[in-house]
């Protein structure tokens, strides 16, 4: 998603759109969905999403030079919280 959002912001700049811009994530129809993980993990159990639509608050982008990774990490944090984790789980062996 970071790559996609970066490309969208580049396109907005090429089109002459002026900041500020907002990034929003909406996951619709996700009640009872759970987060799936690839690989082995020691993360413990989360829980299903308890609402039909997960609407993540918008993030303000004040400039095209904004580092998008921390912005997206805040968005990801809300999604992780919705499935029962206080932060993204870490893979075993990864530090």
At a CB cut-off of 8 Å and minimum separation 6, what does 13 contact? 64
Structural domain includes residue 50? yes
| Whole-number Å distance between alpha carbons of 34 and 42 | 16
For residue 52, being part of any structural domain is answered with yes
β-strand partners of 26: 55
Tell me what pLDDT residue 86 has. 75
Structure tokens at 87: 């932060």
Q: How much is the pTM?
A: 0.75
The owner of tokens 């969208």 is: 8
Strands annotated E in 1-95? 21-27, 54-61
- Look at residue 49 and tell me if it is in a domain: yes
| Total number of domains in the chain | 1
Domain span at 57: 2-82
Mean pLDDT per block of 10 residues along the chain (95 residues) reads 92 95 94 72 69 94 94 90 76 42
Tell me, yes or no, whether 58 lies in a domain.
yes
Residue with tokens 């994530």: 25
């Amino acid at each position: 998603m970071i790559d996609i959002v970066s490309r969208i912001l580049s396109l907005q700049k090429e089109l002459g759109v002026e900041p500020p811009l907002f990034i929003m994530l909406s996951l619709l129809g996700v009640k009872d969905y759970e987060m799936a993980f690839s690989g082995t993990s020691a993360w413990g159990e989360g829980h299903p999403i308890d609402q039909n639509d997960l609407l993540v608050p918008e993030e303000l982008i004040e400039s095209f030079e904004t580092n998008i990774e921390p912005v997206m990490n805040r968005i990801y944090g809300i999604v992780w919280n919705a499935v029962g984790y206080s932060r993204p789980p870490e893979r075993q062996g990864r530090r």
